[in-house]
Structure 1
Amino acid sequence: MPLTRLVTEAFGVVTISLVIVLVLFSVLCILYSVYFQARIRRQGFAPLRYFNGPWIIRIALIFFAIWWCFGEIVRLSFLRQGRLLHFLTLKWQEIACKFYVLSNLGFSEPCLLLTLIFLLRASLQRRGSGTLSRRWNGKTASYILLYCIPLFVLQLIIILIGPSFNSGNFARKMPHSFLTAVVHHDDAALCTYPLLSTIVIGLFAILVTVYLLWLGRRMAHSVINKGLRRRVYWLIFSVTSFLPVRVLLLGLSVLSRPEHVLFEALVFLAFLVLLSCAGVGITMLVYCPIVDSLALRVIRDLEDTGRSDLNNDTASLVANQSLLEMSSSTSVARNSDASTKRGSISFRTMVRDDASTEVFEELSLFSPDSHRLVSSPPGSPPLPGRPMLHP
């Protein structure tokens, strides 16, 4: 039907557009993370290394998101129906659909969720637990791949061995939608979601949801900043609420065929749900921590600069005031000498010694050149000091 073809192409174009947006944002985050790590190493600012310790795992999170996005492009129906992939034979289109199920449902999607969990868990670890080291990043990457292996093996059994059950007696008990990943229509192989694969990923999503709820509760109690607590709530809410919705949509997709509008709508909504989770995860766990760390560095630099300027201005202000007082005391002493020429010499000596002692004690606290200032002759003009600045 022309209407079905039009709707399919519309869903495909929107899917590709959203994938391009997420990929561009992901590449920007990778460059931003590498730039921040290089800046920390070049300037040697050790305290900020703690905030960018799991930068390799953050890049791995972005890598799994990009991999999943390209897999979603491979499964699009309108690419096979006489458009871009018309040069592929029917056999290669079937292989592409099976590869999509293994790649997305068996590898990239579980690894994406596991990486997100490890990044959230790393934020609760103590500073001396080794999050800064490369060894922690390597061990975490190994754990992610290790935990993903059972899920990948189950999906591999369902995709490769499952269709062989149709030739045996077990096919009477197992519906066709539980095992197949390919449906033929108009000399094209269209991708579907086997119900067993959806059940496997659904069980995994339940474990992830329960663990994230427990982890989010711990993070909410440990975070004292309202902004950070709001980020944690958004991330936990988006993942724990969207994952069950995605599994439900994929499960309902078996009620329709890939050439129908209902199937395309359900699959597009399932794609949109997980795309939102990936976008929120990259924003909260990669982009925002780097921006906050750079803001802390800028604030620290401004505080150091302001403190240095304030100290210099204070020293200049005290020096200028001391010079003025010394000049005024010298003038008083001269006037005293002129007015008391017939008086006692001990009085003139007492006034001059008290003024010199007072100036020396005041300058010795702030100025290193106090001895030179005090030893200047009484008749010399005041030495030029730094102009008084507003602190």
Structure 2
Amino acid sequence: MVVMPALPFLNLAFDLTTVAFISALIIFSLLSLCFIFHLRFKSKSLTHLQGFNSIWTVRFLLVLFIFFWAITELLRLPFFRRRYLYRFLPVLSISQQSEFCKLHLVFSLGFFEPAFLVTLLFLLNASTKKQTPNDTSAITFVLITCLPITTFQGLLLYFKPVLDHVPLFFLQTAVVINHGLGTETVLCGYPFLNSAVFAGFGVGYSLWFLVSCWKVLSLVINKGLRARIFTLAVTVLVALPLQIMALGLTLFWKLEEDMYGVVSLVVFFGAFCCAVTGEGILVIKPISDALDAGESRCNLSSCYGGGSQVKTSPVPERTVEKGEGCV
């Protein structure tokens, strides 16, 4: 932690922009949760939706991880901490305030973002399975994949032997901006070693995601579904590497410089694009399609005098079931 003399000119603008997009993401996540629980209740009366609804918990986890990632991103913002957090915790010292920067790194880069990316990958792979994976396998898959990176991030920030043998430059999480008159602000940064750990995860994940998308595209015939999967693949495979590149570029500027704020905003937007696209394509759109198919079946059933007499459907049963992952 280093004390600097002045506040960056564009810092407030970057904070307000980030808060606006985080607010939009939180609202979008709440909308996704409404879709999930609406389908959950609807499937009790429409039996053909029960297969589609069988991994509703995994979709719920995806939205929950994205929601908490958005919340932890607020901890990084001086505007949010100064305006809201410090009102409830007014007696925190500078060193205690800088702890929020460490918590942001552990929970954001260390767990919640990797967790929602891995859950997104699980849903994508589930769409190619003949049998629907259970919730336990999904949770186990996420934890086994994410715990190593979470552990590494925590060790780099809190394990004393690491702190004693690594230069401050590689582990600097915050600087203190002195405004005069006893007013100080803590700016959070992305240390080199923590960024490198996330970059290693991101490269491995991108390759795995590319292979999974290729496998799904080879099995899908419907043009609309192929377009959705292709959109998801392009978004993730562009946004995630862009985020990693931006994390690398933070090495070339100091935390108090305007350009550091620019690249930090790019880091945020990389994860933001993955989150919004994942929720839209893997949660809202497939649930909307399933509900529309359910209403069409109900209309057909009423025309023929009962659901048991209907032998055909606008959407085949297997199409709905196989749509669990992403279609």
- 1:227 — aligned with what? 224
Determine if the alignment matches structure 1 residue 53 to structure 2 residue 54: yes
CA contact (8 A) 1:206 1:244 kept: yes
- Compared CA separation, residues 79 and 23, structure 1 to 2 (3 A): closer
Question: For 1:104-143, what per-residue CA distance to the aligned partner results, in whole angstroms no more than 9, with x for missing partners?
Answer: 11110110111001010111111xx243xxxx11221122
- 2:290 — aligned with what? 293
- 1:147 — aligned with what? 145
Determine if the alignment matches structure 1 residue 179 to structure 2 residue 180: no
Across the two proteins, how many residue pairs are aligned to each other? 294
- 1:23 — aligned with what? 26
- 1:209 — aligned with what? 206
1:277 offset after TM fit, Å?
0.8
1:308 offset after TM fit, Å?
4.1
Partners of 2:119 and 2:242 in 1: CA distance: 20
User: Which of 71, 95, 102 in structure 1 is aligned with 2:99?
Assistant: 95
- Compared CA separation, residues 242 and 79, structure 1 to 2 (3 A): same
The 5-angstrom pairing of residues 42-121 of structure 1 reads: 43=45, 45-79=46-80, 83-85=83-85, 87=90, 88-121=92-125
- 1:276 — aligned with what? 273
Partners of 2:5 and 2:11 in 1: CA distance: 10
The percent of aligned pairs where both chains have the same amino acid is: 28
CA contact (8 A) 2:11 2:258 kept: yes
Question: For 1:247-298, what per-residue CA distance to the aligned partner results, in whole angstroms no more than 9, with x for missing partners?
Answer: 1101111221222110111101110121011000000000011100011111
Structure 2: where are the runs of 5+ without partners? 179-183, 307-327
- 1:158 — aligned with what? 156
Determine if the alignment matches structure 1 residue 199 to structure 2 residue 196: yes
Structure 1: where are the runs of 5+ without partners? 310-391
- Secondary structure of 1:189's aligned partner: strand
CA contact (8 A) 2:97 2:186 kept: yes
Letter paired with 2:197: V
Question: For 1:329-371, what per-residue CA distance to the aligned partner results, in whole angstroms no more than 9, with x for missing partners?
Answer: xxxxxxxxxxxxxxxxxxxxxxxxxxxxxxxxxxxxxxxxxxx
CA contact (8 A) 1:4 1:261 kept: no
- Compared CA separation, residues 165 and 122, structure 1 to 2 (3 A): closer
Partners of 1:240 and 1:289 in 2: CA distance: 21
CA contact (8 A) 1:198 1:251 kept: yes
Partners of 2:17 and 2:73 in 1: CA distance: 12
1:84 offset after TM fit, Å?
4.4
TM-score, scaled relative to structure 1: 0.71
Question: For 1:8-53, what per-residue CA distance to the aligned partner results, in whole angstroms no more than 9, with x for missing partners?
Answer: 1111111111111111111111122112111111x1x332222222
Letter paired with 1:25: F
Letter paired with 2:56: W
Determine if the alignment matches structure 1 residue 124 to structure 2 residue 128: yes
CA contact (8 A) 2:65 2:115 kept: yes
Partners of 2:107 and 2:302 in 1: CA distance: 52
Partners of 1:166 and 1:296 in 2: CA distance: 57
Determine if the alignment matches structure 1 residue 40 to structure 2 residue 40: no
CA contact (8 A) 1:177 1:254 kept: no
1:4 offset after TM fit, Å?
5.8
1:240 offset after TM fit, Å?
1.2
1:161 offset after TM fit, Å?
2.6
- Secondary structure of 1:224's aligned partner: coil
TM-score, scaled relative to structure 2: 0.84
- Secondary structure of 1:183's aligned partner: strand
Higher-Rg structure is: 1
Partners of 2:191 and 2:295 in 1: CA distance: 52
CA contact (8 A) 1:51 1:289 kept: no
- Compared CA separation, residues 150 and 261, structure 1 to 2 (3 A): same
1:95 offset after TM fit, Å?
1.1
CA contact (8 A) 1:159 1:180 kept: no
Q: CA RMSD in A?
A: 2.2
Partners of 2:26 and 2:163 in 1: CA distance: 40
- 1:358 — aligned with what? none
Partners of 2:55 and 2:145 in 1: CA distance: 19
Partners of 1:109 and 1:29 in 2: CA distance: 18
Higher relative contact order (CA 8 A, sep 6+): 2
1:192 offset after TM fit, Å?
1.1
- Compared CA separation, residues 188 and 2, structure 1 to 2 (3 A): closer
Partners of 2:6 and 2:147 in 1: CA distance: 42
- Secondary structure of 2:187's aligned partner: strand
